[in-house]
């Protein structure tokens, strides 16, 4: 006769009291269990010489790119008037490019740290050993996630000196480095969690790695492409109030008498599709970084600031009134005052929404991984190794 133990059931003795051995529930969570799994994972990584080689290669590549960015921007802005203007132009550009490159490498490396964690252990026959212990599936998953995130943070820590060097170019507040590092760390955690979910869902390590890279590519590269493709679908001919020269006639000597006219033209409603850019990791980092100095008009060429301004403007959507009486401003000595009210663009932050969407995908990956590690498991994929 066989006995089936339901998940979370507590075996009892003859007197009805629980026995010392109990089956842990799926979502049971203790720090001791998470730390135990994380330590086992990290010890396996540290014993591998490839881990040290990867860190050295990362350090060399980031350092080389930082040096190239530094030299190229220096030669590009050699003709800037004065050292102060040079720093205002060069500093934000160097800092933004280095931060973007670190994020780019992080999105390439993070999936490899977690996308083979569960199915790799299952193929090696070591996952079942963890599952038959008192560790809950939630503790196993969080322990593996903590270990992969710690490994990703090690790469990020190696990049800190070069981000600090880029900060030393000037024109960027010190707070920007800490904010960017914090956002980068959270994005890497989300990617690691997504990879962990596919690792539990797919039997083959190559399949889980490819699926994780597809998600990362969709967030970082495919999202702006889809936004561009939907740009035409959200463009329609609509009636707009225009302050313009009647009939387009103007002799060029005196200020023209402009009037209000209703014109029909293409209007693009980007307020409907801006979120496609908001979930992009590069947009999230750019929007979260503090602005260098909004009162200084000489700060140009800042990739972070350009993306920040662009995505917030797109979120506001099209203007309802347009001033086309440009010639009135060109008359010498004229004091032209436009009747078109200055547009109040919503300048609130976009990055919390995008970061929350990425973290939500990571939470979904954790949930899938925990559900796939439940015991007893009713069904297993064909070819799945148990022990």
- HEC string of the chain equals CCCCCCCCCCCECCCCCECCCCCCCCCCCCHHHHHHHHHHHHHHHHCCHHHHHHHHHHHHHHHHHHHHHHHHHHHHCCCCCHHHHHHHHHHHHHHHHHHHHHHHHHHHHHHHHHCCHHHHHHHHCCHHHHHCCCCCHHHHHHHHHHHHHHHHHHHHHHHHHHHHHHHCCCCCCHHHHHHHHHHHHHHHHHHHHHHHHHHHHCCCHHHHHHHHHHHHHHHHHHHHHHHHHHHHHCEEEEEEEEEECHHHCCCCCCCCCCEEEEEEEEEECHHHCCHHHHCCHHHHHHHHCCCCCCCCCCCCCCHHHHHHHHHHHHHHCCCCEEECCHHHHCCCCCCCCCCCCCCCCCCCCCHHHHHHHHHHHHHHHHHHHHHHCCCCCCCCCCCCCCC
Cβ(363)–Cβ(193) under 8 Å? Answer: yes
pLDDT range class, residue 23, cuts 50, 70, 90: low
Question: What integer pLDDT is reported at residue 12 of this predicted model?
Answer: 47
Using the structure block, give the residue that is written with the tokens 């740290």: 113
**Between 258 and 106, where is the model more confident?**
106
Cβ(148)–Cβ(195) under 8 Å? Answer: yes
Tell me the two tokens of residue 362.
Answer: 């990571």
pLDDT tens column, 137-185: 999 999 999 999 999 999 999 999 999 998 888 778 899 999 999 999 9
Task: Kindly state the average pLDDT of the residues 122-145.
Answer: 89
Cβ(261)–Cβ(242) under 8 Å? Answer: yes
Task: Kindly state the average pLDDT of the residues 295-306.
Answer: 66
Question: What integer pLDDT is reported at residue 380 of this predicted model?
Answer: 64
Question: What integer pLDDT is reported at residue 171 of this predicted model?
Answer: 79
pLDDT above 90 as % of the chain: 43
CA separation (Å) from 314 to 271, 299, 304, 342?
Answer: 6, 22, 16, 16
pLDDT tens column, 273-296: 999 999 999 999 999 998 775 444
Task: Kindly state the average pLDDT of the residues 361-374.
Answer: 93
Question: What integer pLDDT is reported at residue 383 of this predicted model?
Answer: 59
Using CA atoms of 251, 256, 262, 263 in order, give the dihedral in degrees to the nearest 10.
Answer: 40
Tell me the two tokens of residue 183.
Answer: 């956002």
Q: Measured between alpha carbons, how far apart are the two ends of the chain, in Å?
A: 24
Predicted confidence (pLDDT) at residue 15 exceeds the cutoff of 50: no
Identify any residues that bridge with 43 across adjacent strands, giving them in sequence order: none
Cβ(37)–Cβ(140) under 8 Å? Answer: yes
Predicted confidence (pLDDT) at residue 366 exceeds the cutoff of 90: yes
pLDDT range class, residue 13, cuts 50, 70, 90: very low
Question: What integer pLDDT is reported at residue 27 of this predicted model?
Answer: 85
Question: What integer pLDDT is reported at residue 297 of this predicted model?
Answer: 43
Task: Kindly state the average pLDDT of the residues 335-361.
Answer: 82
Q: How far apart are CA 266 and CA 211, in angstroms?
A: 39
* Mean pLDDT over the full length of the chain: 82
Question: What integer pLDDT is reported at residue 322 of this predicted model?
Answer: 80
Task: Kindly state the average pLDDT of the residues 89-108.
Answer: 90
**Between 135 and 3, where is the model more confident?**
135
């Amino acid at each position: 006769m066989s006995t089936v133990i339901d998940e979370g059931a507590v075996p009892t003795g003859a007197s009805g009291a629980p026995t010392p051995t109990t089956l842990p529930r799926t979502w049971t969570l203790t720090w001791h269990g998470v730390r135990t799994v994380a330590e086992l994972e990290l010890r396996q990584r540290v014993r591998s010489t490839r881990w040290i080689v990867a860190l050295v290669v990362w350090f060399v590549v980031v350092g080389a790119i930082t040096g190239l960015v530094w030299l190229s921007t220096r030669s590009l802005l050699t003709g800037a008037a004065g050292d102060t203007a040079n720093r205002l132009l060069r500093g934000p550009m160097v800092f933004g490019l280095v931060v973007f490159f670190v994020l780019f490498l992080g999105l390439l490396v993070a999936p490899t740290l977690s996308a083979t964690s569960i199915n790799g252990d299952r193929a090696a026959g070591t996952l079942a050993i963890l599952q038959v212990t008192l560790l809950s599936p939630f503790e196993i998953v969080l322990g593996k996630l903590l270990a992969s995130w710690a490994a990703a943070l090690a790469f990020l820590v190696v990049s800190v000196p070069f981000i600090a060097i880029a900060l030393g170019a000037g024109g960027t507040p010190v707070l920007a480095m800490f904010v960017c590092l914090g956002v980068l760390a959270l994005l890497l955690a989300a990617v690691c969690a997504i990879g962990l979910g596919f690792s539990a869902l797919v039997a083959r390590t190559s399949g889980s790695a490819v699926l994780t890279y597809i998600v990362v590519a969709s967030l970082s590269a495919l999202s702006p492409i889809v936004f561009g493709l939907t740009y035409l679908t959200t463009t329609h001919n609509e009636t707009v109030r225009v302050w313009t020269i009647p009939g387009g006639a103007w002799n060029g000597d005196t200020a023209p008498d402009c009037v209000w006219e209703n014109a029909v033209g293409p209007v693009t409603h980007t307020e409907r599709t801006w979120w496609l850019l908001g979930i992009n990791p590069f947009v999230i980092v750019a929007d979260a970084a503090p602005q260098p100095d909004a009162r200084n008009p000489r700060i140009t060429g800042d990739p972070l600031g350009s993306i920040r301004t662009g995505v917030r403007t797109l979120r506001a959507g099209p203007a309802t009134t347009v001033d086309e009486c440009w010639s009135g401003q060109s008359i010498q000595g004229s004091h032209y005052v436009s009747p078109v009210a200055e547009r109040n663009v919503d300048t609130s932050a976009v990055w919390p929404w995008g970061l929350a969407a990425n973290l939500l995908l990571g939470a979904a990956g954790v949930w899938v991984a925990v559900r796939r590690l439940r015991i007893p498991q009713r069904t297993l994929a064909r070819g799945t190794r148990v022990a």
